[in-house]
Structure 1
Amino acid sequence: MSSQELNHQQLNDLYTENQGWLRGWLHNRLGCSHRASDLLHDTFMRILARDELLELQKPKAYLMAITKRVLVDHWRREKVEQAYLDALAAMPESYVQAPEEQQILLETLIEIDALLDGLPVVVKRTFLYAQLDGMKQQEIAEKLNISISTVKRHLVRAAGQCYFALEMEA
Structure 2
Amino acid sequence: MNNPPVYNIENEHKLLLQIAQNDGVAFKLVFDHYWDRIYSMALTYLKSPLYAEDAVQEVFVKLWNSRLQLTAVRKFDSYLFIIARNEIISTLRKKIVHAPFYEYLSDELTEEVLAPDQQLDMKEFQTLIDEAIEKLPVQQQRVYKMSRLEGLSQEQISRELDISISTIKGHMTKALQSIRTQLSINSNKPTLLWWLILIAIKK
Q: TM-score, length-normalised on structure 1?
A: 0.46
Which one has more relative contact order, counting CA pairs under 8 Å at least 6 apart? Answer: 2
Structure holding more helix per residue: 1
Q: TM-score, length-normalised on structure 2?
A: 0.40
